[in-house]
Structure 1
Amino acid sequence: MAADLVLTGGRVFDGHVIRPGATTVAVTAGLITGVGTETELGDVVGPATDVVQLDGRLVTPGFVDAHAHTFMGGIEALACDVGQSRGAAEVQRAVDAYAKASTGPAPGWITGAGWYKGDYEGGFPDAAVLDVVAPSRPVYLINRDHHSAWVNTAALRLAGIADHTPDPPDGRIDRRSDGSASGILHEGAMALVAQLLPPITRGTVEAGILHGQRHLHSLGITGWQEAIIGEYAGYPDAAPAYGALAASGRLSGRASGALWVPRGITLPEIPALVDEFRERRRSNAAAGFPTSSAKIMIDGVPENRTAALIDPYEPAGCGCMPVGAVDRGPSYLPEDVLHAVVRALHAARFDLHLHAIGDRAVRTGLDAVAGALAAGPGPAGSAPPCADAWQPLHNMAHVQLVHPDDVARFGPLGVTVNAQGLWACSDDQMRALTVPLIGAERATWQYPFASLVGGGAPLALGSDWPVSDADPWQAIHVAVNRTHPAYPGEPPLVPAEALTLTTALGAYTSGSARVTRSPAGVIRPGAPADLAVLSVDPFALQDADLHAVRVDLTLAGGRVVFER
């Protein structure tokens, strides 16, 4: 039978290795129907077959982003996007332009995201910077890592945040040296202002998903996992919007989601949460949006001292803690609650998606998974299809600081390292904010990718977009080189932990597909025709040039969704 599409004249990476001798991939009715040489597949070319000449380029499975916030990234790009604004003056210009463009009979909040901590001394700017261009309209700007928000004085007043307003249990109000609120809200303190924002409508969420989907497709990404599905930091549950887009045929990407476990959950609330998650898993799957994962944020990030450390932070850095204070960062869930909710969700056959950045968060997360595995899954009940054959695909995202004693634990526990390869380098933030807070010894424990893989840990790659660039080739470049192309003068960050190109590319395709339970991520007959044609064969490049690789063609289910 003639194929619908044939890609020929290049090389084929099948999700694991370069397939020996293969130059051609055939696609029919949305599936891969042949992989081999041009001669072997010559009889599938018919009069109506679309033949694409690769001219030596590489075809790979479509990339799968194992940890993204696609709908948030889309919404933020359509709002006051300050992601390209470097420093206070550029942010002021962006906010001023947005304010002038959004005037009307009742101008309200200015919301957006993307500012970078590395652009500001100590990591955090002041409300006064925003007051210059928005003295009366409230402003709420989430930073790039989504663990802090920058607001102006008008927003502080609306929220009733004064000099002596207490910190919430899971967050902190940043303060100036005189004790006054500076305009920076960390973690749970973001909600003090976020709860006042106008509700985000279903239409806005759908527009954000579609904008994000177009962006990801342009980078060769055909699948992703939304790392937070549920109400969080002013955002609504995106599952209904995903279901509507799937029903209308507008969702071309293979998306799944991780249901958000609220940070304030208590032991008595766990049974009801699990029952709710079971029902949401059932209804979301029926709507075409799988949510078989559960997201637990164990800690925060080191730059605002919310990453959970085994030993205290260094006294240097942001100045947000008194010098000499014993501070190891918070754990967002008490240890007994973490163990109980992990055990209950595992028993209900959810894959756990754990945010863990500090070494204490990594250790307690591994301890909780070990306890859940020992207890075992519960009865199939309302579990996903094929529940009798269910094997957990628990994963830990970010894993920035891993104590050497814990590196070898991932493999035996089967915990996938859900890595953000782009972060494993030295840049302004790493040099000025992170290392002074964690110290020189712990800085050498960061992102131990090669050691984790060597210890048998499965590996997946994701971007955390819009926290960082969604382009897989920027992340692969850093994972292989341990340097960022924008910082050519910086020494590699722990170069012994570099990955090979084959390992990194496999992690961003088959590795991420596996951990998100996607049928894609591989090139073999019968697999979905989710494919990316690269601008070159990266295996013919020097490692230092990997960041220049682009995507020329993206197919999702055999349909062209991007063409350069």
Structure 2
Amino acid sequence: MTQKAELVFKNGFIYTADKNRSTAEAVAIADSKFVFIGSSADVEAYIDSNTEVIDLNGQLVMPSFFEGHAHVSKSVVNHFGCNLFGINTLEDYISALKEFLKEHPDFPAIRGNGWLEAVFPGTGPKKEDLDKVSTEIPIVCTSETLHSVWANSKALEMAGITKDTPDPKNGKIHRNEDGSPSGCLRESAQDLVFNVLPDFTVEQYKVGILAYQELAHKYGFNGVYDPWLDHGSNAIEAFKELEKENKLTMRYRGAYWINPERGLDQVEELTASRANDCNGELFKINGVKFFVDGIIESVTACLLEPYVEAEGKEAGYKGHPIWEAEPLNNMLAALDKEGFQLHSHAMGDAAVRATLDAVKFTQKQNGKRDARHTVTHAGLIDPNDIPRFKELGVVAMLNTYWAQIDDLYFMNGSFVGMDRADKFYPVNSLIKAGALVCSASDYPITAIPNPFIGIEIGVTRTAPDNYHPWIFDYSNSVFHKAHWPEEKASLPDMIDAFTINQACACFLEDETGSIEVGKSADMIVVDKNITEIPAEDIGTATVQMTLFKGKKV
């Protein structure tokens, strides 16, 4: 007898994202899984008086999206701090912070998040401007990249940062002519102020996680990878408590951050933490996050050839690696031996190569396994390294949201040369080379993580009309040109990059990522059929309904 369905969708355009990229008209769902995919006529056999039937009237159904790299736990500052995303002038930053302080006069400190690096190119923002808000309490604002901090005089004083404070390893304290700190801290120097601020509470993290979850469902996500979790932190405890309380309605995967200043003793610690943090169904940690370099915006990415412009750096400066080759190789090998999946931040071409070299070393040491180690961002890749992703089985976790001409493109071009800026994000080359290519928003760095925007830019390589936060004057025709047109990806490839490829990157391809019988009924209903509309309109599509395990969320 045919199993009767709890929920049926019919008369639609079902894009399955299966290996054949097949389409259908109807799906039936029972016991949280797809039990039928096919024609509207044949689905009738799965319907009885208890079945909810939804007539799609031609609407598009797709697998739900999976966010491959988003800082869920870091985004809590958006709810208990001053959200600066969407603002792009110094005056407006100061006004927003003053208003926040007025609304929260009892706060012992102010945290902010989201100032644009492009507003303060080079040496970054100044403490004197934050002092206009307050000199009585610390004010610490993180850039939208999460790689720079803007601090007022009180925060610098509490952290003990003076003209005599040396730059920490892998960090930069920007200074005035007299050597005093100017107010901008890069990379590891950020920790000098973070270490004197209290962590958010478990309850605060829970509020932030649930707010992210609501946002994620709005954009059709049913899974997310959080790549920056400190073992033993309140954030991890918040995730675990929410799962026990049955409040998680999507899959969460994560990675511990590993400290480059410490040695292999961390491996034992992380292995012990994993025993406590990888037992849930929806929340699991089995990854480790490496920062191999910084970012081009702060001139901390590692390049194979010198920067064209790097104020205050030595001649021939190529960026300083956060991990030297030997400790990187040894740490990756030790963690790989324990079965961890490695998630490496590498923005410059030298950092990408160093990571691939470390994976190769690891495979020689431990033997090759289905590890699915990941390089995230990979803004610049030497052409000789592109085929190595497939050869080594390394996932390319890119950010197609950024593969466009915008103000950051011009700022970064001033640092590395426009010839190299023209070669950011070789998406199609990686796809054609057979790499497993995914795309992620890096939320909250991309403040609105709409995957249709990421798909559109991946296909057009052009800044879309309805979302261009890194462009200050969109009327300028230069921003309507395609960036590196040869790297435009096909629409099916971009859909895969947000769905089934992401599931593969998290070892979930047998469970989710495509619409197939037996898989979890994770899907979205979309107001426009993105396979039929012009590519430049893909970003305007909106999710009408998101289902997780067959339930509307």
Question: TM-score when scaled to structure 2?
Answer: 0.93
Alignment partner, residue 48 of structure 2: 46
Identical amino acids, percent of aligned pairs: 30
Determine the C-alpha separation between the residues in 2 that align with 1:368 and 1:474: 33
Q: In 2, distance between residues paired with 1:3 and 1:43?
A: 9
From 516, 526, 551, give the equivalent of 2:518: 526
The secondary structure found in structure 2 opposite 1:7 is strand
Q: Which residue of the other structure, out of 255, 259, 264, is the alignment partner of 2:261?
A: 264
Is 1:362 matched up with 2:352? yes
Runs of 4 or more consecutive aligned structure 1 residues displaced over 6 Å after TM superposition = none
Shift in CA distance, 53/365, structure 1 to aligned 2, threshold 3 Å: same
Give the Cα–Cα distance (whole angstroms) in 1 for the partners of residues 10 and 64 of structure 2.
Answer: 17
In structure 2, the residue matched to 1:384 is none
| Distance verdict in 2 for CA 1:86–1:536, change over 3 Å | same
The match for 1:392 among 371, 387, 402 is 371
Count how many residue pairs are aligned between Structure 1 and Structure 2.
Answer: 536
Deviation at 1:377, TM superposition (A): 5.0
Q: Distance in 1 between matches of 2:25 and 2:430?
A: 33
Structure 1 segment 544-555 matched on structure 2, within 5 A = 544-555=536-547
Q: Kindly tell me: are residues 2 and 123 of structure 1, through their superposed partners in 2, closer, same or farther at Cα, counting changes over 3 Å?
A: farther
1:277 aligns with 2:270: yes
Is the 8 Å Cα contact of residues 75 and 205 (structure 1) preserved in structure 2? Answer: no
CA contact (8 A) 2:14 2:61 kept: yes
Query: Could you say if the C-alpha distance between residues 110 and 450 of structure 1 is closer, same or farther in structure 2, counting changes exceeding 3 Å?
Result: same
Please give the per-residue CA displacement for 1:264-283, whole angstroms capped at 9, x wherever unaligned: 123xxx1x322222222222
Contact 2:309–2:416 under 8 Å retained in 1: no
Aligned residue for 2:409? 430
Of stretches 235-244 and 125-134 in structure 1, the one that deviates more from structure 2 is: 235-244
State how far apart, in whole Å, the 2-side matches of 1:346 and 1:523 are. 32
- Map of 1:291 onto structure 2: 285
Residues 346-383 of structure 1 show CA distances to partners (whole Å, capped at 9, x for unaligned) of 121211111110011000100000111122359xxxxx
Give 1:412's aligned amino acid: E
Q: Which residue of 1 aligns with 2:204?
A: 204
Match of 2:73? Answer: 71
Which of these residues, 87, 98, 101, is aligned with residue 99 of structure 1? 101
**SS of match in other structure, 2:441:** coil
Tell me which residue corresponds to 1:9. Answer: 11
Contact residue 140 and residue 149 of structure 2 kept, 8 A: yes
Q: 1:178 offset after TM fit, Å?
A: 4.3
SS in 1 for 2:442: coil
CA deviation digits over 1:510-561, x for unaligned, max 9? Answer: 0001101222111111111111111110011111111111111111111111
Match of 1:184 in 2: 184
Contact 1:111 1:141 in 2 (8 A): yes
Task: Check the 8 A contact 1:348/1:377 in 2, yes or no.
Answer: no
**Secondary structure of the corresponding residue to residue 375 of structure 1:** helix
Stretch moving more, 480-489 or 194-203: 480-489
Residue 282 of structure 1 aligns with an amino acid whose one-letter code is: A
Aligned to 1:25: 27
> Shift of residue 121 of structure 1?
4.7
Aligned equivalent of 2:442: 464
Map of 2:460 onto structure 1: 481
Change (3 A) 1:357 1:45: same
Alpha-carbon distance between aligned partners in 2 of 1:338 and 1:245, rounded to the nearest angstrom: 35
Q: Helix, strand or coil: the match of 1:417?
A: strand
Q: Distance in 2 between matches of 1:199 and 1:447?
A: 35
- Mapped to 2, the partners of 1:2 and 1:541 lie a distance apart of 35
Q: 1:123 to 1:33 in 2, by over 3 A?
A: farther
Q: Say which of 398, 420, 436 aligns to 2:399.
A: 420
Q: How many Å separate the matches in 2 of 1:21 and 1:465?
A: 31
**Partner SS state of residue 168, structure 2:** coil
State the distance in 2 between where 1:77 and 1:536 align.
32
Q: How far apart, in 2, do the equivalents of 1:224 and 1:121 lie?
A: 31
Matched, 1:410 2:389: yes
For the residue of structure 2 that corresponds to 1:529, the secondary structure is coil
Instruction: State the distance in 2 between where 1:467 and 1:77 align.
Output: 15
**2: CA distance, partners of 1:526 / 1:75:** 39
Q: Find out whether 1:508 has 2:510 as its counterpart.
A: no
Q: CA deviation at 1:461?
A: 1.5
In structure 1, C-alpha distance between the alignment counterparts of 2:386 and 2:235, rounded to whole Å: 35
Query: How far apart, CA to CA, are the structure 2 residues paired with 1:50 and 1:335?
Result: 58
**1:385 matched to which residue of 2?**
none
Deviation at residue 303 of structure 1 after TM alignment: 1.4
The verdict on how the C-alpha distance between 1:363 and 1:59 changes in structure 2, with shifts beyond 3 A counting, is same
Aligned-partner Cα distance in 2 for 1:528–1:20: 18
Which residue number in structure 2 is paired with residue 253 of structure 1? 250
What is the TM-score with the length of structure 1 in the denominator?
Answer: 0.91
- What SS class does the counterpart of residue 396 from structure 1 fall into? strand
* Deviates most, 285-294 or 530-539: 285-294
- Give SS of 2:434's match: coil
Cα drift, residue 177 of structure 1: 4.0
* TM superposition shift of 1:416: 1.0
> 1:49-103 CA deviation, whole Å, 9 max, x = no partner?
2222222221111100111111222442442111122211111121111101111
Q: Which amino acid aligns with 1:243?
A: K
d(CA) in 2 for partners of 1:121, 1:398? 21
- Superposed CA offset, 1:192-244 (max 9, x none): 1111112211111111111111111110000011111216xxx9452221111
